[in-house]
Structure 1
């Protein structure tokens, strides 16, 4: 086997591990590395070569989700009107928030602070981009800013696991209706 093929295999394994971890975090009460390795179709040694600790793996899941959320904003604006882009972005926020809850519950306080610090600025900037586009075309209220919406989104973390499916997207709809311009 040549070196480039091994690197491609390693990259594929890494991505499968991250996707499996995301699924476990979003749907399980406890994050077990052996379950993640099994779902990813890799051995424990492969998992630990990529992520020496559970915190390393969960931090990467979190960072990737933040990055995907941030890069989605301009892409959505390029494809949709501002209010539709904001609506679709908020739908992604629900998925992100569910994973975020699981990650933050599974890591230690120091890691939790570092991860939160990593996400606040970029997500706020992405949200501001969407809100500003909506303000420019008159579909978003002029008196709403990214901090307002982020504070409201914070309430997603207070949902109990059993009410997530029934309430998370409903709350996002309430937020969206609150930022919509009535004029």
Structure 2
């Protein structure tokens, strides 16, 4: 990427992150372009779809969550490791506007619809070993896909709550009681 194109890309990411934090995943792409001082064509050249922009904005944060899953892979208590990771994903998804919608879009887009499945795929890949190790302590049949769908639902349900993180934590605790009762 040329130096000016790289600068535009980084500027667009920074402006988009602020806009998404303030307005959610539906932030205006045209306003993002105006604020960055570029044309809407530049936005579309770097990010052909809204979802590709969301993926880029959340990439570093998803990297942190996948690294955390890897750190927990050898935890002596597999159930505790999974629950710790799910709490981190839930906290992140419930406090970062737009992420839950991006994850939900991964689940609901049609098979021929052009977009990336990067966030959900990466979280699924990162969390699958934790679920596998914790399987004996889980309700039979629970999958990482189920758990990520529940986390996404919790984040969507708490997005406009006065304290989304606290409410998401409370709802996750209720969910955990159903999928992995303490023994």
Instruction: Judge same fold: TM > 0.5, yes or no.
Output: yes
Greater relative contact order, per chain length (Cα 8 Å cut-off, separation 6+): 2
| Alpha-carbon shift at residue 174 of structure 1 (Å) | 2.9
The RMSD of aligned alpha carbons is 4.4
Distance 1:123 1:65 in 2: 12
143, 160, 163: which one aligns with 1:162: 160
Distance 1:180 1:147 in 2: 15
Distance 1:89 1:12 in 2: 35
Distance 1:63 1:112 in 2: 21
| Alpha-carbon shift at residue 154 of structure 1 (Å) | 4.3
Partner of 2:130: 130
Q: Give the match's secondary structure for 1:51.
A: helix
Partner of 2:89: 92
| Alpha-carbon shift at residue 116 of structure 1 (Å) | 7.4
Distance 1:74 1:24 in 2: 29
Distance 1:123 1:68 in 2: 9
The 5-angstrom pairing of residues 116-127 of structure 1 reads 119-127=119-127
| Alpha-carbon shift at residue 99 of structure 1 (Å) | 1.7
Quickly say closer, same or farther: Cα 1:175–1:18, change in 2 above 3 A: farther
Quickly say closer, same or farther: Cα 1:68–1:112, change in 2 above 3 A: farther
Partner of 2:38: 44
CA deviation vs aligned residue, 1:38-95 (integer Å, no higher than 9, x gap): 66xx3124x7435348753542322663653773354332585542464245423443
The 5-angstrom pairing of residues 17-36 of structure 1 reads 17-28=12-23, 30-33=26-29, 35-36=31-32
Of 53-62 and 12-21, deviating more is 53-62
Q: Tell me whether 1:174 sits opposite 2:138 in the alignment.
A: no
Unaligned ranges ≥5, structure 2: none
Partner of 1:141: 138
Quickly say closer, same or farther: Cα 1:17–1:75, change in 2 above 3 A: farther
Of 52-61 and 125-134, deviating more is 52-61
The structure where helix makes up a greater share of residues is 1
Partner of 2:70: 75
Distance 1:133 1:173 in 2: 20
CA contact (8 A) 2:20 2:98 kept: yes
| Alpha-carbon shift at residue 21 of structure 1 (Å) | 1.7
